[in-house]
A and B are shown apart, each in its own frame.
With several copies, the nearest count.
Chain A
Amino acid sequence: MRAAVVTFPGSNCDRDLRVAMERVFARPVASLWHAETELPPLDLIGIPGGFSYGDYLRCGAIAARSPIMAEIARLARRGVAVLGICNGFQILTEAGLLPGALVRNLRLSFVCRPVRVTVVTASSPFTNAYRPGRELLLPVAHHDGNYVLEAEELARLEEEDRIAFRYLDNPNGSTADIAGVLGPGRNVLGMMPHPERACDPLHGGEDGIALFRSLLATLT
């Protein structure tokens, strides 16, 4: 397993994601600075939460157009797994690697709380250690997590079994309670809840561990 986590100016969950991955993978995880354009050989790239470029203009918009994202898009097309969490999810939609867009929460305010989500599909490198239908408790912490997409796109996601997670208590107004989606090749996952904040009994519980275990089992 060769994994790395990208740091954009304004990323603030990069360390958390790396710590969680290292704990489950039991090996070092590299840091990628956003200005790098030549990436080492990798099996997994994590795009962390935070406020890349202050989330100015639109969340994730500026980061999505940075040079490293072109490289990540190329690797994603070649099958490298890409995991975008929170701001990472926003960046992946802005970069066109995932459908839809994330807009302001329905109630307009930032929301930080543990939410209940269900695993919709276990057929992905991110979720295959979960039983479909399993209920998880994962923290969310975002201002713009309201996932919008057009009806045809939604139908396609459903038909292709690309909805990874759904909220049981939708905290942000997302269409069809979607909390996480897979890209067409199933190797890109974007999700608003933070699995990296749920890998530790002292902090946020342990329901996120199986996501990293799935990756470890699939990618090595």
Chain B
Amino acid sequence: MKARVAIRFRTGVLDPEARAIEKALANLGFTGVRGVSRTRIIELELEASDRDAAEAEVRRMSETLLANPVIETYSVTIAER
């Protein structure tokens, strides 16, 4: 089964890279760009009996390793195939 974890900074945590992108875009003449935010996606394949089992497993992966709950939130999507 294929799964996809989307990880982003919690609101309130300043993302210096997003700010830098915004600034760099402005310097390059792309004016009027606002609200830049970044999300990291990790896709993986796993063996699981069904979607729910897969989702539970990927949630555990996210909580134990993939995301840092102090600064990040995550969401999981399972794409059967």
Contact = CB atoms under 8 A, between A and B. Distances in A.
Interface of A: 53-54, 56-58, 61-62, 65-66, 93-94, 99-101, 103-108, 146, 148-150, 173
B72 to A, nearest CB: 9
A58 B72 CA distance: 11
Contact of A146 (B16, B20, B64): B16
Contacts, number: 54
Contact of A101 (B16, B17, B28, B68): B68
Dominant secondary structure at the A interface: loop
Contacts of A58: 68
A57 B70 contact: no
A148 B17 contact: no
B17 A57 contact: yes
B9 to A, nearest CB: 8
Contact of A104 (B17, B24, B27, B66): B17
B16 A65 contact: no
9 contacts: A56-B16, A57-B20, A65-B28, A65-B64, A99-B70, A101-B68, A107-B16, A148-B14, A148-B71
Contact of A53 (B14, B24, B28, B66): B24
Interface of B: 12-17, 20-21, 24, 27-28, 64-66, 68, 70-71
Nearest to A99: B70
Contacts of B16: 54, 56, 103-108, 146, 173
Given A65-B65, A94-B68, A148 B24 contact: no
Given A53-B24, A66-B27, A101-B71, A61 B65 contact: yes
Closest 3 CB pairs of A and B: A56-B20, A56-B17, A62-B24
Nearest to A151: B12
Nearest to B64: A65
Contact of A108 (B12, B17, B27): B17
